[in-house]
Copies of this chain bind each other. A is one copy, B any other.
């Protein structure tokens, strides 16, 4: 039997039209982000942060910073998905509960911290990992939204510096994507056509 999650992936579309009368309660926002944080990240770094922009004036400000793309304010919530550079100190805290339950030896957690210290000393590598983790998180948010019957629409077209200022991001936080999430309104495009598999898959 085909798992129902398959059809969700097959039918997902990026929404441009959202039901403006739809408000999203704290509990649903929390459920969405709880699911998004189940995404994998290198070393379990969890180097991400989600800002759920819900208040009308905040959405209006964010919409301006996204060059007036109305879905930002029409959707119940637009998430700013931020990635962060890997932080070996923080990783220690994030792995500690797994050490405490006896899953991971303390020596392994320490060696992962060492690896992170070396691997991301280069700011370019750290930036790449911030984008990778935030994108894995954003994709998981998007699939979680589908499972909750909601439409979503990842966006990379926005004024990065303006978003940093308006939403008081820390210096090291990189806004990687905006993701409006809400109830779909009529008139959305279906999923856009995909390239033939032969163009994108090689079996080696």
Contacts and interface: CB of A to CB of B under 8 A. Distances in A.
Interface of A: 3-6, 8-10, 12, 14, 26, 29-30, 33-35, 37-40, 42, 44, 46, 48-55, 58, 94-95, 97-98, 101, 103-104, 115, 119, 128-129, 131-132, 135-136, 138-140, 142-144, 146-149, 153-154, 156-157, 167, 176-177, 189-195, 197, 200-204
Contact of A8 (B3, B154, B200): B3
Given A5-B143, A103-B189, A148-B3, A204 B52 contact: yes
B191 A38 contact: yes
Contact of A203 (B44, B48, B54, B149): B54
Given A33-B197, A156-B129, A156-B132, A140 B9 contact: yes
A195 B156 contact: no
B50 A201 contact: yes
A173 B119 CA distance: 21
23 contacts: A3-B4, A5-B144, A5-B147, A9-B140, A37-B194, A40-B142, A42-B154, A46-B200, A48-B200, A49-B200, A50-B202, A51-B203, A52-B201, A52-B203, A58-B204, A103-B192, A104-B189, A115-B157, A119-B157, A128-B131, A132-B156, A136-B138, A167-B204
A165 B27 CA distance: 49
A33 B197 CA distance: 8
B50 A200 contact: yes
A13 to B, nearest CB: 9
Contact of A40 (B26, B154, B204): B154
A105 to B, nearest CB: 12
